[in-house]
Amino acid sequence: MTMTHAVFTPFALLGRLTLGVFAALGGPVLFAGQGLKAAFTPRWYLTELMKQLVRVGYLSLPVVGLTALFTGAALALNIYTGGARFNAERFVPDIVALGITRELGPVIASLMLAGRVSAAMAAEIGAMRATEQIDAMRTLSVDPFRYLVAPRLLAAVITLPILVAIADILGIYGGYLVSTRTLGFDGPIYIKNTWNFLTNWDVISGLIKAAVFGFLIALMGCYHGYKARGGAQGVGLAATLAVVTAAILIFAANYVLTTLFSGAG
Amino acid sequence: MGATLELKHLRKAFGRKVVLDDVNLDVKPGQSLVIIGGSGTGKSVSLKCAIGLMTPTSGQVLVDGTDLHAADKETRDELQSSFGMLFQGGALFDSLRIWENVGFRLIYANNMKRKQAREAAIEALGRVGMGEDVADLYPNELSGGMQKRVSLARAIVAKPKILFFDEPTTGLDPIMADVIDKLIVEQVKDLGAAAISITHDMVSARKIADEVAMLYEGKIIWRGPVDKLDDPGNDYVDQFVHGKSEGPIKIAAKV
């Protein structure tokens, strides 16, 4: 009896683990499917979409702009010090531009949004769940996926690339400011170097990343809010889970996309 | 006019825990049925299955003979559009104004123009004794009792055929509870709707019920007209109705 038990325990554990992984993945994947279906088929609630565009996009501008500016500035300093070790200081404009557009612009803007937007979505939808507002919506013949989830997904996918484009410009500007004010670069030449060096693909690949990250941010916010259970504590947990999972997914997706893009560009 | 609602052999289990065990009930148009029972006896679950927020493990929910849970999406949407529900906490959308809450179904499900929806919402607010002055407020600017009234207005705005009330008087002072009870009776009669309520407030149950059914351990153990409540011929009902701690119903210290 104990013998068979000992033999089968690893298999049972493996089975339980597999089921657990599928359950953890299956929930968000099914949710995403339902969300996408609602986002791409009528009917659309345009006033809700507008509200979310303002919240996710417009109101995130200061946060995204400031982080990009400081990141670009710090990046320029680091590249200058590092480059100085083998007389490569003149590459500052090129590497700042490349680093910001391909990597730091999308990732840093998205991480800020994961904190700002994912948490807010999870808390709001979670509170609506806790106070039966989502059930009430269903009894009023309105699909919460259309009214709540689809506008948030769409707003994030639309605004993230715009925010990242702005972050790109401000990040490069941050590098430009430090380089010309403290590192002795000539302004017009710095800009000319940046412009000649950057390719369209550097920028576009970053914007594609941004759209994917935007989807993940809104998806995690909505999913954890929708599945929130049990009052204030549940809402708090939903907000935490939303931010943490969104951030991890952003890093993971960033690696996958960078791998794909390095083949393409 | 109202519709007939029937629950047939309704069973609901969460894993191994059986919450509803062969529940059979029916409500006819113009009739008000109140389900009583202690906490955790399956009252909420039976209501949620009946309105379609939860899928029963087995059994049927029939609306004028059509099975809600077996119907295709279109039929189901159509059936559900004739339901109205008053939630325990009101469940008003706190980001929307009072009139937008009341007119929510009209604007977002029935595609009504906002101006007309506002008029219809104000008319519905009038039916629960509230004036136009509250229309542009937000839910958190109203007291709990007022929020419940708004929620009732939202439930009746599209003239439903079946009304569901989840603990309509919980958390209200006795006077406001009486106001809500009277409004419920009035609206059910006016609309000719079938009404099904769950409550453990016996004062409220006596006021709004034509018939009372008692749910105990997932089964309907008694059903009868409201005037038989004091002489039900069933020890369980007698104990519950008169709120005695001694009797066949034992309260477990641990759930």
Question: What is the 3-class SS of A79-124, one letter each residue?
Answer: HHHHHHCCCCHHHHHHHHHHHHHHHHHHHHHHHHHHHHHHHHHHHH
CB A140 within 8 Å of CB B154: yes
Greater confidence (A180 vs A24) lies with A180
A10 within a domain of the structure (yes/no): no
CB pairs under 8 A between A and B: 49
B194-199: strand order across its sheet? B83-86, B162-166, B194-199, B32-36, B211-216, B219-225
CB A107 within 8 Å of CB A250: yes
Across the interface, of B89, B94, B109, the residue whose CB is closest to A140 is B109
- pLDDT score at B170: 87
Strand partners, A15: none
Phi-psi region of B246 (alpha: psi -120 to 50; beta: other; left: phi over 0): beta
A22 within a domain of the structure (yes/no): no
CB B185 within 8 Å of CB B154: no
Taking only the tens place, the pLDDT of each residue in A28-53 is: 999 999 999 999 998 899 999 999 99
- pLDDT score at B108: 93
Beta-carbon contacts of A139 under 8 Å, excluding residues fewer than 6 positions away, are: B51, B53, B80, B83, B84, B85, B164
Nearest-by-CA chain B residue for A142: B109
CB B145 within 8 Å of CB B176: yes
- pLDDT score at B39: 82
Is residue A6 over pLDDT 80? Answer: no
CB burial of residue B75 (10 Å; 0-12, 13-18, 19+)? middle
pLDDT band at A238 (very low <50, low <70, confident <90, very high): very high
CB A167 within 8 Å of CB A65: yes
Strand partners, B24: none
Taking only the tens place, the pLDDT of each residue in B103-117 is: 999 999 999 999 999
A41 within a domain of the structure (yes/no): no
Interface test with B, best of A48, A141, A145 (most B CBs within 10 A): A141
Q: What letter represents residue B64's amino acid? A: D
User: Could you tell me the two tokens for B125?
Assistant: 């607010």
A92 within a domain of the structure (yes/no): yes
Q: How far is CA B60 from CA B6, B15, B25, B86, B169, in A?
A: 8, 20, 11, 23, 29
A73 within a domain of the structure (yes/no): yes
Residues in chain B, how many? 255
pLDDT band at B129 (very low <50, low <70, confident <90, very high): confident
Residues B194, B83: Cα–Cα separation, whole Å = 10
Chain B residues with CB inside 8 Å of A138's CB? 52-53
Q: Average pLDDT for residues B193-214, to the nearest whole number? A: 92
CB A247 within 8 Å of CB A114: yes
The mean-pLDDT minimum among A143-147, A152-156, B171-175 falls in B171-175
Across the interface, of A128, A136, A142, the residue whose CB is closest to B87 is A136
pLDDT band at B254 (very low <50, low <70, confident <90, very high): very low
Nearest-by-CA chain B residue for A140: B105
Total domains, chain A:
1
- Tell me the backbone φ, ψ of residue B103, rounded to 5 degrees: -90, 10
Are B93 and A133 inside 8 Å of each other by CB? yes
Q: Of all helices (H) and strands (E), which one includes residue B156?
A: helix B144-156
**Mapping DSSP to helix (H, G, I), strand (E, B) and coil, where does residue B7 land?**
strand
A2 within a domain of the structure (yes/no): no
Longest dimension (CA), chain B: 58
- Tell me the backbone φ, ψ of residue A95, rounded to 5 degrees: -75, -35
- pLDDT score at B255: 46
A139 touches chain B (CB under 8 A): yes
- pLDDT score at A256: 96
DSSP letters for A49-74? HHHHIIIIIGGGHHHHHHHHHHHHHH
d(CA B107, nearest CA chain A) in Å: 10
- pLDDT score at A208: 96
Are A132 and B93 inside 8 Å of each other by CB? no
Taking only the tens place, the pLDDT of each residue in B19-67 is: 999 999 999 999 999 999 888 788 889 999 999 999 999 999 999 999 9
Q: Which ipTM did the prediction report?
A: 0.90
Which of B199, B89, B62 lies closest to A129, judged by CA? B89
| Structural domain span for residue A160 | 47-264
Residues A15, A9: Cα–Cα separation, whole Å = 10
Residues A108, A102: Cα–Cα separation, whole Å = 11
CB A82 within 8 Å of CB A183: no
pLDDT band at A5 (very low <50, low <70, confident <90, very high): low
Average pLDDT, chain B: 90
A59 within a domain of the structure (yes/no): yes
Residues A76, A176: Cα–Cα separation, whole Å = 8
Q: Average pLDDT for residues B183-211, to the nearest whole number? A: 91
pLDDT band at A69 (very low <50, low <70, confident <90, very high): very high
A67 within a domain of the structure (yes/no): yes
Interface test with A, best of B108, B152, B165 (most A CBs within 10 A): B108
